[in-house]
Amino acid sequence: MNTKPLNYKDGKKEIQAIPKKGEAMGTCATLNRKYICCNVQVLKSVHNCPFECSYCFLQNYLNDGATKSIDDIGTLIEEVKEKISREPRRLFRIGTWELGDSLALEGSTGQAAGLVKEFAGLGNAVLELKTKSDCVDSILNLNHRGRTVISWSMNTEYIIKTEEHRTASLEDRLQAMHKTANAGYLIGLHFDPMIFYAGWGKDYEKLVNQVFEAVLPDRVAWISIGSLRFNPEMKKKIENNYPDNRLTCAEMVLGDDAKMRYVKPLRANMYRSLYNSLRRHISKDNLIYLCMERRDVWDKVFGYHPDSIEHLDSLFAQSLYKRFGLINEP
């Protein structure tokens, strides 16, 4: 038997079905009280990803390159049920994208379809499947009962081509989004990571226009905006794995969460520009948030900030109730 560990890229080529070992559900690894975080819970049901985004934090995180997918959905759901039953008054948002892409492996595993069916029967949880793929066919005809949000990580055509290798093209993502919204799912939009380059302003504006040609704003459950960030030690790995990347030459500063980011005025400028483009399409009711940002940056972009992580969490529940009638069911 070959016991040599797979390297980061080789591990993306083969998928192993594995049983659940230990706890799979927990707090998002990036939660940090110095920033406003959205308090999503994560279900680690996939480990590694067939795609190759040059900025992907997995290249710094996974030391066993193999791509793994948990195949016993029943045990995953038992853990979810046990944990959400401890706080019956809270509406949990639970995402499966912490260590990979929620739908990229769907053609081989069928895991996402299994989870959608299970979440349809849960009273106080919403599943978020987040992807850069167009692999939606297995979920289109399911009775999801509005308990799953299908989200896309969106970026400009230029960034998809230069930094998000092997992911679905922008056009394919938009077509998949259109089909999914027509199947009655709510859609999540994550403009993250925004990446600075010559022409970013016009390109992100065009991206927003293209998105709202594919999906109506009143089918969008939530929208996040974030910018490029990574641990300092990742710089070398990015340069080794993706020598043609254009990420690591930008001016960046170290934050309290030990991640490098663009300087604050640039981040605020990029977010404001995207927010202004979004506001031409969406109403005040659409929930928009910044991912892993400081209170003063929220103020600069939106003119307010949530009081706490828990406050932002409650804004999600209020918005889902007010806009879509989604309630906790006993």
Q: Which residues bind ligand SF4 (CB under 6 A)?
A: 49, 51-53, 56, 58, 100-101, 132
Residue 55 or 289 with smaller CB distance to ligand SF4: 55
The smaller minimum CB distance to ligand SF4, of residues 68 and 132, is found at 132
Nearest distance from residue 123's CB to ligand SF4, in Å?
A: 30
Shortest Cβ 14–ligand SF4 spacing (Å)? 16
Q: How far is the CB of 259 from ligand SF4 (least distance, A)?
A: 15
> What is the distance between the alpha carbons of residues 175 and 320, in angstroms, rounded to a whole number?
25
Residue placing its CB nearer to ligand SF4 in the complex, 9 or 34: 9
Of 95 and 114, nearer to ligand SF4 (C-beta) is 95
The two tokens of residue 309 are: 């992580």
Nearer to ligand SF4, 56 or 292 (CB): 56
Phi (first) and psi of residue 195, to 5 degrees? -125, 135
CB of residue 49 to ligand SF4, shortest distance in Å? 3
Strand 148-153 versus strand 125-131 pairing type: parallel
The set of long-range contacts for 7-11, using a CB threshold of 8 Å and a minimum separation of 24, is 7/65, 8/58, 8/59, 8/62, 8/65, 8/241, 9/52, 9/65, 9/241, 10/65, 11/48, 11/62, 11/64, 11/65, 11/66, 11/67
**At closest approach, how far in Å is the CB of 87 from ligand SF4?**
28
For helices 111-119 and 73-85, the axis angle rounded to 10 degrees is 30
CB of 196 to ligand SF4, least distance (A): 18
Closest CA to 267 of 235, 302, 300, 233: 300
Distance between CA 130 and CA 151 in Å, rounded? 4
**Minimal distance, residue 104 CB to ligand SF4, in Å:** 7
Nearer to ligand SF4, 49 or 234 (CB): 49
Nearer to ligand SF4, 164 or 313 (CB): 164
Q: How far apart are CA 231 and CA 242, in angstroms?
A: 16
- 208 and 288 in contact (C-beta within 8 Å)? no
